[in-house]
Structure 1
Amino acid sequence: MSANRVDLRRVDLNLLVAFEALVAERSVTRAAGRLGVGQSAMSSTLGRLRRLLGDPVLVREGRGLVPTPLAESLLEPVRGILIDIEQVLTHRGQFDPATDARTFLILLTNYHLTSTFLQPLLARLAVEAPRVRLHIEPPGDDFASRLQRHEVDLLIIPREAYPEHHLFPHRELFSDRYVVAVDRDHPDIGDEITYEQFTSLPYLATFSGRHRSPAEIQLDLIGVPRNVEITTEFGIAPFLLHGTRLITVIHERLARQVAEQNNLKLLRPPIEHLHPMTEIMVWTNRTDRDAGHRWLRECLLELAAQVTVEA
Structure 2
Amino acid sequence: MDLRRVDLNLLVAFDALMAERSVTQAAERLSIGQSAMSSTLGRLRKLFNDPILTRDGRHLVASPLAESLVVPVKDVLIGVESVLSGGPRFDPATAERTFMIIANDYLSMTFLQPLIASLPYEAPGVRLTIVPTGEDFAELLRRDRADLLVIPREAFPEHSYFPHQVLFRDRYLVAVDKDHPEVGDEITMEQFSELPYLATSSGHLRSVSEMQLDFLGIPRRTEITAGFGMAPFLLAGTRMVTLVHERLGRRVADSAGIRLLELPMVLQPITEIMAWTRRTDREPGHRWLRNRLLEIAQESQTEP
If the length of structure 2 is used for normalisation, what is the TM-score? 0.86
Q: Unaligned stretches of 5+ in structure 1?
A: none
User: Partner residue of 1:237?
Assistant: 231
2:18 to 2, 5, 23: 23
Residues 23-172 of structure 1 correspond to what in structure 2 (within 5 A)? 23-93=18-88, 95-108=90-103, 110-172=104-166
Aligned residues of 2:74 and 2:279 also touching (Cα < 8 A): no
CA distance in 2, matches of 1:75, 1:187: 60
CA distance in 2, matches of 1:32, 1:167: 26
Deviation of 1:138 after TM superposition, in Å, equals 2.7
CA distance in 2, matches of 1:165, 1:56: 30
3-state DSSP class of the match of 1:279? strand
Flag the 1:44–1:174 CA change in 2: closer, same or farther, 3 A.
Answer: same
Flag the 1:23–1:175 CA change in 2: closer, same or farther, 3 A.
Answer: closer
1:274 to 262, 267, 270: 267
User: Partner residue of 1:196?
Assistant: 190
Q: What number of residue pairs does the alignment pair up? A: 304
Aligned residues of 1:179 and 1:267 also touching (Cα < 8 A): yes
Q: Unaligned stretches of 5+ in structure 2?
A: none
Q: Could you report, residue by residue, the CA deviation over 1:196-254 in whole angstroms, capped at 9, with x for unpaired residues?
A: 10011121222224332121122233332222233333333223323332211011222
Which segment is superposed worse, 282-291 or 110-119?
A: 282-291
Q: Could you report, residue by residue, the CA deviation over 1:233-292 in whole angstroms, capped at 9, with x for unpaired residues?
A: 333322332333221101122223333333322222211x32332222233454444443
CA distance in 2, matches of 1:224, 1:166: 30
Task: Look up the equivalent residue of 1:231 and give its one-letter code.
Answer: T
Flag the 1:263–1:301 CA change in 2: closer, same or farther, 3 A.
Answer: same
User: Partner residue of 1:174?
Assistant: 168
Greater than 6 Å deviation, 4+ residue runs: none
Q: Could you report, residue by residue, the CA deviation over 1:113-157 in whole angstroms, capped at 9, with x for unpaired residues?
A: 222222221221211122233333234334335444555432211
User: Partner residue of 1:263?
Assistant: 257
Which segment is superposed worse, 51-60 or 206-215?
A: 51-60
State percent identity of aligned pairs: 63
CA distance in 2, matches of 1:177, 1:73: 40
Deviation of 1:169 after TM superposition, in Å, equals 4.1
